[in-house]
A and B are shown apart, each in its own frame.
Chain A
């Protein structure tokens, strides 16, 4: 009798326990994009590495259970998610109900508190020919108790938000398309939650340009913000960067920054030279700063040919509106 109960329990554990992982799926957009989805980490799970619910230190490498092997970022490698911050892990989405769109279907979002290295990488870019558009997207919210950078700060408190990063053409040439907060001392004329943008490095040698793309403290506290960054490489090898921040419901508003085109052509594309991607991806890294933020639905996409109008756009799991949707209308109709 005891053996029978044990067997039933074992079968139940196998069926129910594994089903929890097996049923977990990446976001619908990644499935729809097919091979144009490089990877996705929905961050909508309570467990990692096959059922572990322990997200506390000293565990720092995590493989969340809701990203299938085929579409997870850095499959099989321990650094898919590296977080050394004091707090990192899931909290029930119900705790965030006031800040999420009414149509969301989330069970969990990820909480991040405190300084230190913390990011979910994107794979090394491997595009050995030009004429493509490469994008990242995730959602982020800071709490009202989050620490913010300081005006004219000698310590240069800062936090990264999202980065397309690569070393190119040599290991000494770091390239960044990035949104960050703080860093350079913020003049009192700017908000302390100033979101900075950059597109620099020898890869395309774009002119220095650090345009602001909003203020996290006033725009991304009472609602989630959708952060999107895209690199456009034309058929001739020109490099461009676009960055967009969208306040999703219950907020509203959108800011977009287009960077000047780089001076260097890369007709060879951006091949994987084995140097890795650098600390790119969904960046939570904070230096001398103790942020208190939330993240969900990170995706990496690549479409060919280059499409300077393409953005990953909303995750239906976050913003609602799942199911088949007709296209938007064409644009720019002229008759001559």
Chain B
């Protein structure tokens, strides 16, 4: 019994931090990636981009602003990568909404969002493929 539990823990350690498929993550640390806009709403070139922002929202909870990222250039186009932890604990499985927005002096853009399931149940970790 004990060796089997040890193996399970090892499996969790080795496999538990990798995605098991599209939209399902098995770790609480995530990397969000996106490209800054190069246009304003309506299509004109942006010349005054100041920052982008990353938000997440857990089911039944308020949206949380994770961070502001200073724009790579006033004309946008930079690739943004941010790694941070989401409060989804071991044995929990939650659908998390991630959003990114852009801001210039005229205001904040509409959000670009995606929903990812963070599944930290032992079954999910054991079923991780890599």
Contact = CB atoms under 8 A, between A and B. Distances in A.
B58 interface: no
Interface in B5-42: 19, 25, 30-42
B59 interface: no
Interface in A200-214: none
B75 A310 contact: yes
B64 interface: no
Interface of A is mostly: loop
Interface in A93-121: none
B3 to A, nearest CB: 32
Contacts of B45: 29, 33, 301, 310-313
Given A303-B75, A327-B104, A329-B102, A334 B34 contact: yes
Interface in A276-331: 301, 303, 305, 307-314, 316, 321, 324-331
Contacts of A33: 45, 47
A29 B43 CA distance: 13
B126 interface: no
B125 interface: no
Given A333-B113, A335-B32, A336-B19, A327 B75 contact: no
B68 interface: no
A235 interface: no
B35 A316 contact: no
A328 B32 contact: no
Contacts of B47: 29, 32-34, 36
Contacts of A308: 77
Given A36-B75, A321-B42, A326-B41, 10 more contacts: A33-B47, A303-B75, A326-B108, A327-B40, A327-B49, A328-B37, A329-B100, A335-B32, A336-B19, A336-B31
23 contacts: A309-B77, A310-B45, A310-B76, A326-B41, A326-B103, A326-B108, A327-B40, A327-B109, A328-B43, A328-B109, A329-B100, A329-B110, A330-B37, A330-B102, A330-B112, A333-B33, A333-B34, A333-B100, A334-B32, A335-B30, A335-B114, A336-B30, A336-B31
